Structure 1
């Protein structure tokens, strides 16, 4: 069960990066701006995730702070999808992350 939950959270993290990129590429701006934001937004999310949330994070945070950063990242991803015109998938991204995170916490798996 834990392996399945970890696999799901990994796929959700990829969807988070994809949502940031999708939002950037759908901006109502010129192609250079869309390219910059479409590639830059996922990069920013990946850097934040790598610094604070990954298993080998450069900055070790207490569990509540790590959870807060993860929640902020996923809420941002959901908001970006909503801003790109896809509110339901945005809500689904956040809800699936919250459900998976809760299930992982109940199994005692730190992530």
Structure 2
């Protein structure tokens, strides 16, 4: 069960990056702005995740702070999907992350 939840967590992280890219590439703006947002938003989220949330994070945060950063990333991804006209997909992304994260914590997975 734990392996399934960890796999789902990884897939949700990829979906988060895709959501940020989707928002950027679907902005009602010129091509340079869409390219910058479509590449920049996922890159920014990936950097924040890598620095604070990854297993080999450069900055080791206490568990509550790490969960807060994760929640902020997924909340931002959900909002970006909503702004891109996909509010249901944004809600599903955030809810799936929250449920998966809660189940992993119940199984004793470290932050």
Q: TM-score, normalised to structure 2's length?
A: 0.99
Show structure 2 runs of 5+ residues with no match.
none
TM-aligned CA deviation for residue 13 of structure 1: 0.2
TM-aligned CA deviation for residue 42 of structure 1: 0.3
Q: Deviations over 1:19-61 (max 9, x none)?
A: 0000000111000110111001000000000000000000010
Structure 2 residue matching 1:45: 3-state secondary structure: helix
Aligned residue runs from structure 1 range 1-111, under 5 A: 1-111=1-111
Q: Deviations over 1:47-82 (max 9, x none)?
A: 000000000000010000000000000000000000
4+ long deviations beyond 2 Å: none
Q: Figure out how many residues of one structure are paired with residues of the other and give that number.
A: 111
Q: TM-score, normalised to structure 1's length?
A: 0.99
RMSD: 0.5
Q: Distance in 2 between matches of 1:67 and 1:2?
A: 18
Q: Distance in 2 between matches of 1:65 and 1:21?
A: 26
TM-aligned CA deviation for residue 110 of structure 1: 1.4
